[in-house]
Structure 1
């Protein structure tokens, strides 16, 4: 079976993104964190908006939000949700396809967010520096940028002792189930990179496999402060703990 990149067009990670994140208790409270960083009714840019989990929730709280993602499979789901929103909320949302390392919307915002380890998906170094530059380019003076990053100690952990046991087993909307298995996992200290291969298996209501997908997920980690500094971003406060596996790093544009 071919191993695809995570969130690839024909993979299952994008198809079942909402199912997985809905039961991920490690994300509990992230919406409140980001909402508190922006002024009431302010403008927010979300880098790596995915299927719109935060984009639409922030719009429901009265913010105007532009959600950007590079994966067509994720944006297609976001667009379908957008079409079902009440008109008043939908009017506060704009969805765009784009690469956060080179994005230039020619607009500024009160807050830029990069949630759920999105920055960690790209190699540390120039890709991180370019993403910080993107955030700075889109911020008003005095605006904040928030990046959710994994803890290095969590990235160093080995995979499950039994790779044959699913790490997630959830019902699907069609009456079947989606299973997740961690087939491989490793961490390279010298480059701060964690690689894992996750197998998604979709079962029908009778327990028969409908679809399977092997997908490689990679996270990178390093100290973000030196890479944010050239973009004029300085730490605004201590990182905010989130779900025991990550922290939200908040930067100020002077």
Structure 2
């Protein structure tokens, strides 16, 4: 099966990339705010690209960071009252200012290579000279090991109903169960080799800095060249 676009279904508003606003509003933070907070100076300003319903953005604000969130879905941003947000696509975004840190979480970097490079250009555009980019990627080992499965976390049952490989790309259909509500999300993830990451960072005038979570190849920082 080949998926041309991400898509989703279920109760409430669905974003252009298939995410459920209702479902994402139920998701708790899962350690991400601490990872980001520990990677930046105290009180550093943070721009989060693709912030959704503020699952990471709100805790960062509570930790003392001036924050701005960007998402293409006004319905997502409506769930973050009281914090500055901008409804816009990431590609081509230019807010006319720079930040101490830019956050690209939720494994959005694992989109197709062309979009990934546009994302990184936007990240660089909003980084100060001494700024830091914080990125969450899908662990490279996932692409080899992921299979249909089921698990429950914080009352949310995640069912990976379908997993298809098309070359290096992995297409997934996932069902999310919360009580008697079910949302479905079909999405694709693209792996990133070490050489591809270095080249894509360089094309955006960035350089790899360090991994943030022990030996896990998931969270890393990059800095302006």
TM-score range, shorter chain: 0.7 to 0.9
1:200-234 CA-partner distances (Å, limit 9, x unpaired): 3454xxxxx4x443320222221322111022101
Going from structure 1 to structure 2, the CA distance change for 1:99 and 1:134 (only over 3 Å counts) comes to same
Cα gap change, 1:78 to 1:194, in 2 (>3 Å): farther
CA distance in 2, matches of 1:94, 1:212: 31
* 1:73 alignment counterpart: 75
Q: Which of residues 46, 49, 52 in structure 1 aligns to 2:48?
A: 46
Match of 1:195 among 168, 171, 191: 171
198, 220, 223: which one aligns with 1:249: 220
Unaligned runs of 5+ in 2: none
1:185 aligns with 2:163: yes
TM-score, normalised on structure 1? 0.73
Aligned to 1:101: 91
Which consecutive segments of 4 or more residues in structure 1 shift more than 6 A? none
Q: Which is further off, 40-49 or 212-221? A: 212-221
1:200-239 to 2 correspondences below 5 Å:
200-203=176-179, 209=180, 211-222=181-192, 223-237=196-210, 239=211
Choose from 14, 23, 30 the match for 2:21.
Answer: 14
d(CA) in 1 for partners of 2:19 and 2:203? Answer: 38
Cα gap change, 1:63 to 1:253, in 2 (>3 Å)? same
Task: Determine if contact 1:43/1:111 at 8 Å carries over to the other structure.
Answer: yes
Q: Distance in 2 between matches of 1:148 and 1:242?
A: 14
Secondary structure of 1:214 counterpart? strand
Shift of 1:148: 0.5
| Structure of higher CA gyration radius | 1
Change (3 A) 1:4 1:193: closer
Deviation at 1:160?
3.3
User: 2:151 maps to what in 1?
Assistant: 167
RMSD: 2.7
Q: Contact between 1:101 and 1:128, CA under 8 Å: does it hold in 2?
A: no
Matched residue SS, 1:152: coil
Report the TM-score, using the length of structure 2 for normalisation. 0.81
In terms of fraction of residues, the more helix-rich structure is: 1
